[in-house]
Chains A and B, each alone.
Chain A
Amino acid sequence: MAPNPKATVPDSKNIPHSHRLPANHREVQRIFSKLSRASLISLAIQWLAKKNRDFCRPFLLGDLGDEEEERDDELYTPAQSYEELQEIYKQLAGRKGGKREIQDRILEGDWRTGVSMYQLATADIQYLLDHTNSLRWTAKRLARIQGAKSAVLDMEVTNDSDHLPRFQAQTFMGNLARELTPLMKAHYLLMKVRTRPMTVLRVYMHDSPYSTESSLAADTGSDSARAVFFIWPNGSPFVYSSIANHLGQAIGDDGRHLRDIVQQAIPKAFSRPSARYQLAGTNFVTKSLDALLAYRGPGKSNAAAGGWGIFQDHSFSQNALDFITSQKGDPNEKPAASKPTAAPSKRALDPSETPEAKRKREIAEGRFGTSALPNDGRGLERFDIRIDDAFPQSSAQPDGNTSLPNNARPASRDRRKGRPSLLDRSMEEIEELQDSEAWVPDVRMVFQGSHVFAGIRQLVEQGIVDGEKMPAWMTGEAGVTVGVVKEGRIRMKKGNIPGV
């Protein structure tokens, strides 16, 4: 019996690139209205390129049916061919004009029959690359699960050993789809980014057993974010994940749940027999992609943040064959050549600087080095700290009271609504505290702003924060946005080396 093409049956396929959403679909409207004119034009030209035509079929003159031919009230006459359309968009690119013009042309003219999933995904990624601070990212690390047998083997560094998970696009996509299709239908787009060293995966989640176009277009009613992004910086074990919510759109439990499903599938898709991976947290959440690449990226800067940055940007050690000593330490000599970020050198030119201010500036320079400058683009907007030191005994706390706050704590947590914070004490930590004698109150600190550590640096320069007594975590050199401080230092896992 020939299969009926109209029937919708639950199946186990992915949503293909060429499935279309109607142009007035909420998701389509949202994404397209965010993009700039230049981005829209560049996208349209990309879609019309030969290799993408199968996924982004525009509405051409040949597509007009007989009955609807010759309608004069048409705002946009369909083009004859792909080449003609490409020409039109190239002309539009050379001209000035509003962004609305392009958006309407795409949605009501050339792609009036619908926007394919491929187009939607590329448009969403384009927005992400245009606005690198638009989403909140969580950095995770793909960590090898240590088997009892393989533990010894893993220590060995041989000529052909591999410590990073291998990333093969086809294999990875196949594995991921195999993990996910029984649970949901999804559209995947995996893209290598040209301007930054990373690979982006966008997963559009479709919570339905069907993978047909009509089920895609159907309004599910819930208005939560549908897409999730994952980014792999090249040559590193990290993964950044984010829900692609639009401005002001709430991330519902649905969206979060679907993201978790995808997130759980990712390490499985990376795993091979005898090399299994899991996602481990790295205590790092930020909105800035550039900060992510600096703190959890493929380069030298992961474990040399804050003042230690001088070790990775050559300001500490010159080239081994550079013998010239005279020009060093003389930033005034070439103010034009240095980057506009060099705020201290600007200040050094200021003749009214008092010796006291100069000393503070130098202290700040000593503690922060070349980091934490206001426009370095690596701003962290939130920094959460829990202080786990014992309450100072000198303030005459009688020992008898110690058990009371410990008992009171669970009750206070119940009162708080919402999800548990990353900073909540784990069971082991609570046990550890109960074993010790001292009273350790649950003190938390949050620093918030557009660039937290640049702010602290300014406070040090102004003398509000004592730069010499300030603990190191206030300079950002711990490289985390969520951390627990004990004895003035951020706690780290035993035996772990930072930044790998």
Chain B
Amino acid sequence: MSAMETLDNEIGDLQAKIAILQAHRANLSTILLSQPHLPARLEQRPVQHEGHRRKAAKLVEKQSKRNLENVYRACAGVTAFKVKDPDPYAVDDGNVLGVRIEVAISGRFIETYNVLFNRPDAQYKMMLKIHKHTIPPCIPLQALANKWLPMTRKDVETATEQNLVKFGRSLRKELVSWHMRLEAITKLRSEAGVEDEAARPEEAEEPAAGRVLNAFMSSDDESDEDDEELQRRRNSPVKIMELEADAAGREITLTWTNGRVGIMKVTKDGEVEKAVVKDEDGTRDAALGRKAIGRIEGLVQRLAA
């Protein structure tokens, strides 16, 4: 039994080692292929087989293309590319223009979003229409498209003005600000010392079903005053028990241990714009609500102060 285990462990170790070495090799070959003047040197030096030279040149070309693409993507944030639609019935012979938006948060590229356009109107070749996209529904894509990429109606003679650059710019702004809000909320959670509901590891005994949202008692049989847990909570110092946000990161709900609940509305650029804090008995805590107004980043500190 133990022999089997040790063997399994050894195999696992070896596989991990192989993976590390492979990654290392890939890294080294990338560095080698990215050497400046490599193509020129390949041309000049004699080789045994012409085929090897061609193969090497191909690899170098592939690498330099990738390098160029990555540099543009990393520096510009919004880049365009061409795609061919394989659909034989596609409009405009399947020519598709892709726009790629990179989102970078705190020094890392975390997500790439694509919008693919086609040209449905043979008469107005410059008119673009969104064909496919990977923008999540919490981004107002339709509204942005209505504004910057309006479609010409059939009976109108002149083409409507479209502005792809402004569309890309405003879409990127929406996406980046969305990710920044989510990032700020994750940070708030760790500041408040509450664990993320989604990040918690799956435990076998925990039910798949979550919290019941309408489990409040009707007022006529409210008799749980003697509940120990509630009593204990009331006596301990008040702190934030739960921090929840909607998927768009526009609304934050805070629950304190003493039953106080606060709802904050966040603007797209991360400003807490409106806040309502209510105590357990329903009275509004206006002072705390006023404290919440401001940048999203310092919310927990402001409320604790």
Contacts and interface: CB of A to CB of B under 8 A. Distances in A.
A298 interface: yes
B284 interface: no
Contact of B215 (A52, A163, A234): A52
Nearest to B140: A163
Given A191-B213, A235-B246, A323-B70, A300 B134 contact: yes
A326 B29 contact: yes
B51 interface: no
Contact of B86 (A156, A314, A366): A366
Interface string B85-115: 1111111000000101010100001001110
Contacts of A303: 132-135
Contacts of A497: 130, 133, 141-142, 145
Given A235-B137, A300-B134, A317-B112, A191 B210 contact: yes
B88 A469 contact: yes
Interface in A377-405: none
A146 to B, nearest CB: 11
A470 B90 CA distance: 11
Interface string B140-155: 1111111100010000
Contact of B143 (A54, A163, A235, A477): A163
A169 B30 CA distance: 53
B133 A194 contact: no
Given A155-B147, A194-B206, A308 B246 contact: no
B63 A194 contact: no
Nearest to A198: B210
Interface in B1-33: 15, 19, 22, 25-27, 29-30, 33
A299 B136 CA distance: 5
A415 B104 CA distance: 61
Given A159-B268, A488-B89, A499-B137, A323 B34 contact: yes
Interface residues of B, number: 83
B210 A322 contact: no
A494 B66 CA distance: 38
B248 interface: yes
Nearest to B88: A469
Given A193-B210, A317-B100, A54 B246 contact: no
Interface in A298-353: 298-304, 307-308, 311-312, 314, 316-317, 319-327, 333-334, 336
The SS class assigned to the A binding surface is: loop
A129 B133 contact: no
B141 A489 contact: no
Q: Which one of B145, B206, B208, B212 has the greatest number of beta carbons of chain A within 10 Å?
A: B212
A199 B209 CA distance: 10
The SS class assigned to the B binding surface is: mixed
B201 to A, nearest CB: 12
B247 A194 contact: no
Contacts of B135: 300, 303, 500
B246 A167 contact: yes
Contacts of A235: 136-138, 246-248
A461 to B, nearest CB: 15
A488 B209 contact: no
Contact of A169 (B15, B27, B213): B213
Contact of B137 (A161, A199, A336, A500): A500
Contacts, number: 222
B132 A489 contact: no
A130 interface: yes
Given A50-B229, A314-B112, A324-B30, A164 B138 contact: yes
Contacts of B183: none
B301 interface: no
B163 interface: no
B174 A157 contact: yes
A194 B209 contact: yes
Interface string A287-306: 00000000000111111100
Contacts of B114: 304, 311-312, 316-317
A436 B269 CA distance: 52
B267 A160 contact: yes
Q: Which 4 residue pairs of A and B lie closest in terms of their CB atoms, listed nearest first?
A: A235-B247, A488-B89, A472-B87, A194-B210
19 contacts: A55-B215, A157-B174, A163-B142, A173-B214, A192-B211, A236-B136, A236-B247, A298-B136, A302-B137, A308-B132, A311-B132, A325-B33, A326-B29, A327-B26, A333-B22, A488-B89, A497-B133, A498-B132, A499-B137
Given A472-B85, A495-B146, 14 more contacts: A160-B268, A170-B214, A192-B212, A194-B209, A234-B247, A235-B246, A298-B136, A311-B98, A325-B33, A325-B62, A325-B63, A472-B89, A472-B90, A500-B137
Interface of A: 16-17, 42-43, 46, 50-52, 54-55, 93, 118, 122, 125-126, 129-130, 154-157, 159-164, 166-167, 169-170, 173, 188-195, 197, 199, 234-238, 298-304, 307-308, 311-312, 314, 316-317, 319-327, 333-334, 336, 366-367, 468-472, 477, 487-489, 494-500
